[in-house]
Chains A and B, each alone.
Chain A
């Protein structure tokens, strides 16, 4: 089955630790995206990548970092510089050659204790 996987579903970390969230897709999509969702709110774009080895900051990139070494993978690192990292994180992908919708993974709930 084609789709997007995110792991883990729930993640707990101590304050001050970096943590990496995984996102993998087998849809052969070039573009991938990371969003943050806070309770009762919409999605805010953290980073996006239109092609391997290239990525751009979104609206709230401070305290986050990404890499895009493979087409299938777009991991997000939440660093200790992120002041309020507890949130729900969604990864998405799309076929950038078409004006097409984004497909979403199931999300990771990060709680920093």
Chain B
């Protein structure tokens, strides 16, 4: 079974600054996917970014990028130029390949962006 750990329950950052959220996972699989989901106060889960384990290049989506370290089983999310709308819970999630798209979630990190 896979486990996903987010060691930072809460974080805060000043508007326009950069923040990094940590995620580590444990798996014996070689092929898998990793995701970061955002849950704002509305509680709607929104996909932020996705990384395929077979890709060495780190995924990037506008101000969001990841640092994927496969050997270390680490998958951190960097948010650049933080905006007030980035205030949310952020969940890291693991998906094994060819496994019915089943997700294993971490416990989440609550991010507060301060003006």
| A residues whose Cβ falls under 8 Å from a Cβ of B | 31, 33, 40-45, 48, 50, 88, 90, 92, 94-96, 99-104, 106-107
Contact = CB atoms under 8 A, between A and B. Distances in A.
A104 B33 contact: no
Contacts of B9: 40
A101 to B, nearest CB: 5
A42 B106 contact: yes
Contact of B44 (A33, A40, A44, A106): A106
Interface of B: prevailing SS: loop
B contact residues, range? 20 to 34
A48 B95 contact: no
A42 B105 contact: yes
A45 B103 CA distance: 9
A contact patch SS: strand
27 contacts: A31-B100, A33-B103, A40-B108, A40-B110, A41-B107, A42-B105, A42-B106, A42-B108, A45-B102, A45-B103, A48-B100, A48-B102, A92-B45, A96-B101, A99-B98, A99-B101, A100-B101, A101-B50, A101-B95, A101-B101, A104-B37, A104-B44, A104-B45, A106-B42, A106-B43, A106-B44, A107-B44
B107 A42 contact: yes
A54 to B, nearest CB: 11
B75 interface: no
Given A94-B101, A101-B95, A102-B101, 10 more contacts: A42-B91, A42-B108, A43-B103, A43-B105, A48-B102, A90-B45, A99-B95, A99-B98, A99-B101, A107-B43
